[in-house]
Amino acid sequence: MKQFLLLISLIFSLVLSGTAYAYLYFPHSDTTEGWETEIAIINTSATQTLSGSLNAYSNTGQLIDSIAITLAPHGRTQIIVSQELSNPSSIAYLIFASDIDTAVGYSKLYKEGIYRAAIPAASVINTSDIYISHIASDYDWWTMISLLNTTSSEKTATLTFNTGEVQNIVIPANGSNTTTIRDLFGVQKPDIKSAVITNANGIVGIELFGSTEESPYSYLSGILLKDDTTTTIYYPHIDSNYIDSSSYWWTGIVAYSPPEYSSQITVTSYTKEGISLMTTDPITIDANGKYIGSVETLSLPYATAWIKIDSDHPITGFELFGTQNGNQLGGYTGVNIMGRQGLFPKIEKDGWTGIAFVNIGDSQASIILTAYDNYGNTIATQTVTLPSYTKQVEQPMNIFTQDISSATYISYSSDRDIVAFQLNGSSDNMMLDGLEGM
């Protein structure tokens, strides 16, 4: 009866309002077997109040619960699914429906004190093939794929792997399907490194990859699965024991060429001060192949602070950061993340936050940072000037000259295209997550 009343209420409000709703998709939620899910939504409008509902669904598309949300201009909300929604173990995904198209958000999936991953919410539904640029399914790693069907008809998504093997995933109408590579095949598949999802029109999804119980590590990261490709990928931060023997971190790079063609790439590395160190001779990535490795194995120059990869064909990829002790891992996509405005959606209160900017252009960039609280109040502003091709990486409290201890997130606005990202780490140095500037 409660589900029926919730559904009637949502339909009734839509009919009365006559509003064309905007949607923000959180394709996966888990509160079982020690997992927890955190959802955050931010109203990016400076003038309009945002009103909507966060709707939670089962994997068959049944409405489980709904929360009304109103956000002032620049307002932010954050919820823990198990604490604020009923029957959380039955919730497979969430959709935020709002009256204006100004919402952005993320989900964080974690096991407390073990590992955590952050993934942007999807505001755009895929319309073509989705490339999964990295899969690890062996003794040390598991890979999970969660797909949400936003259409009113059942869909069969076809996964074609780099080995030539094929698996189908059936997704109910307005439902979701979550599986691991091991579950798809019944065994771990160490030879599988990537995949293409066809019949993906109308699908949004995520990928998680993490350490197995047998592994000595406790790594977890994930990415939003999108049909985006690009001819230039930016990797805005390099940190490694190879670059600096005192470094606590390692950096991993992935660039993937779709199976339709091989790609010729060049890799250009820069110092923090914007000096170009090297551009490689053309490197061939075979069709359905990858340029992949740590900073050490890729033999980047020692002073490298960030890199870009240019390709003669569209490619996709992402970047990972991990700690040398095997306890933390975070990553984000490098595809189409350049722009002149965005935000870092969370300042960590029980741990630390690091933010980074790279000026990818040949002229100086002026960046205005604004720190807000959850109510949309401006806590502080700061202007950062970046000469061409330079990078700044720092904790926010060390960038702002004013006290920002009450701030919960930061927006940025630049007069030049920049690339930005953030890392959030827990106070126990066990959990880490990364997000590109949103």
Place of tokens 């064909």: 313
Alpha-carbon torsion (79, 82, 85, 91), positive or negative: positive
Residue pair 396/333 in contact by the 8 Å Cβ criterion: no
Residue pair 160/198 in contact by the 8 Å Cβ criterion: yes
In tens, the pLDDT along 420-434 reads 999 999 999 889 999
Q: pLDDT class for 351, splitting at 50, 70, 90?
A: very high
Same fold, 130-225 and 339-436: yes
User: What's this model's pTM, rounded to 2 decimal places?
Assistant: 0.92
Of 135, 200, 149, the C-alpha closest to 177 is 149
* pLDDT at residue number 20: 56
Domain residue extents for the chain: 2-120, 130-225, 230-333, 339-436
Rounded to the nearest integer, the mean pLDDT of the chain is 92
Of 204, 290, 215, the C-alpha closest to 255 is 290
3-state secondary structure the chain: CHHHHHHHHHHHHHHHHCCCCEEEEECCCCCCCCEEEEEEEEECCCCCCEEEEEEEECCCCCEEEEEEEEECCCCEEEEEHHHHCCCHHHCCEEEEEECCCCEEEEEEEEECCCEEEEEECECCCCCCCEEECCCCCCCCEEEEEEEEECCCCCEEEEEEECCCCEEEEEECCCCEEEEEHHHHHCCCCCCCCCEEEECCCCEEEEEEEEECCCCCCCCEEEEEECCCCEEEEEECCCCCCCCCCCCCEEEEEEEECCCCCCEEEEEEEECCCCCEEEECCCEEECCCCEEEEEHHHHCCCCCCCEEEEEEEEEEEEEEEEEECCCCCEEEEECCCCCEEEEEECCCCCCEEEEEEEEECCCCCEEEEEEEECCCCCEEEEEEEEECCCCEEEECHHHHCCCCCCCCCEEEEEEEEEEEEEEEEEECCCCCEEEEECC
* pLDDT at residue number 312: 97
Q: pLDDT class for 16, splitting at 50, 70, 90?
A: very low
Place of tokens 């109408």: 173
Residue pair 139/215 in contact by the 8 Å Cβ criterion: yes
In tens, the pLDDT along 233-279 reads 999 998 876 667 667 888 999 999 999 999 999 999 999 999 999 99
Please name the CATH architecture into which domain 130-225 falls: Sandwich (2.60)
Q: Which CATH number fits domain 230-333: 3.60.10.10, 3.20.20.240, 2.60.290.11, 1.20.140.10?
A: 2.60.290.11
Would the pLDDT of 140 be above 80?
Answer: yes
Q: What is the mean pLDDT of residues 44-65?
A: 97
* pLDDT at residue number 19: 55
Would the pLDDT of 4 be above 90?
Answer: no
The CATH code belonging to domain 2-120 is 2.60.290.11
| Assigned fold of 339-436 | Hypothetical Protein Tm1070; Chain: A (2.60.290)
